[in-house]
């Protein structure tokens, strides 16, 4: 009776050991890959998927923030913001900062209009004609 339980117990211990080993190896590889992918001067701040094969990515390169749109194999620059202005716009406090002295005319409407121009030909209504009235900002 006991000679059947020992191999099963050893098999169970081996399976648990393999799972623990795989977990630690995965975390080590993940940490190293993060260091390799995150360059010294480049960092991805945020990425938002806005459609199939289309996303908006916010990159920090040196002291500037780049807002780009990637669609398939094409990359379009939407805006460039100075890092100091980005900190004001992306303020973590609940109070609204005074943005009157910002030299960069950052506007969400302008960004949306740029995206609309880039994606304009892809937006067709059911009849197959452009329906710009629906997408006005």
CA distance 23 to 36: 20
Sign of CA dihedral 127, 133, 134, 137: positive
Same domain, 120 and 75: yes
Structural domains counted in the chain = 2
Q: Is 118 in contact with 135 (CB distance < 8 Å)? A: no
Structure confidence at residue 121 (pLDDT): 52
Same domain, 10 and 46: no
CB neighbourhood size of 14 (10 A): 10
Residue 8 pLDDT greater than 60, yes or no: yes
Same domain, 16 and 75: no
Structure confidence at residue 49 (pLDDT): 86
Contacts of 76 (CB under 8 A, 6+ apart): 68, 69, 70, 114, 118
Same domain, 83 and 119: yes
Q: What is the pLDDT of residues 101-131, one digit of tens each?
A: 555 555 667 777 777 777 665 544 444 444 4
Task: Supply the pTM of this predicted model.
Answer: 0.46
Structure confidence at residue 94 (pLDDT): 42
Structure confidence at residue 126 (pLDDT): 40
Same domain, 123 and 69: yes
Q: What is the pLDDT of residues 58-112, one digit of tens each?
A: 888 888 889 998 888 888 888 888 887 777 666 654 455 555 555 555 566 777 7
Structural domain of residue 129, as residue ranges? 42-135
Q: What is the pLDDT of residues 27-55, one digit of tens each?
A: 999 888 777 766 677 888 888 888 888 88
Structure confidence at residue 93 (pLDDT): 43
- C-alpha distances out from residue 37 to 22, 86, 94, Å: 22, 23, 32
């Amino acid at each position: 009776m006991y000679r059947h339980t020992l191999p099963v117990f050893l098999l169970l211990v081996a399976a648990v050991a393999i799972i623990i080993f795989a977990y630690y190896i995965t975390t080590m590889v993940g940490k190293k890959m993060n260091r390799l992918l995150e360059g010294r001067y480049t960092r991805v701040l945020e990425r938002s998927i806005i459609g199939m094969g289309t996303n908006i990515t916010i990159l920090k390169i040196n002291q500037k923030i780049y807002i780009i749109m990637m669609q398939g194999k094409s990359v379009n620059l939407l805006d460039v913001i100075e890092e100091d202005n980005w900190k004001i716009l992306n303020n973590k406090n609940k109070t609204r900062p005074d943005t009157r002295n910002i030299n960069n005319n950052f506007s969400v409407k302008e960004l949306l209009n740029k995206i609309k121009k880039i994606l304009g030909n892809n937006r067709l209504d059911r009849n197959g004609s452009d329906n710009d009235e629906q997408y006005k900002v």
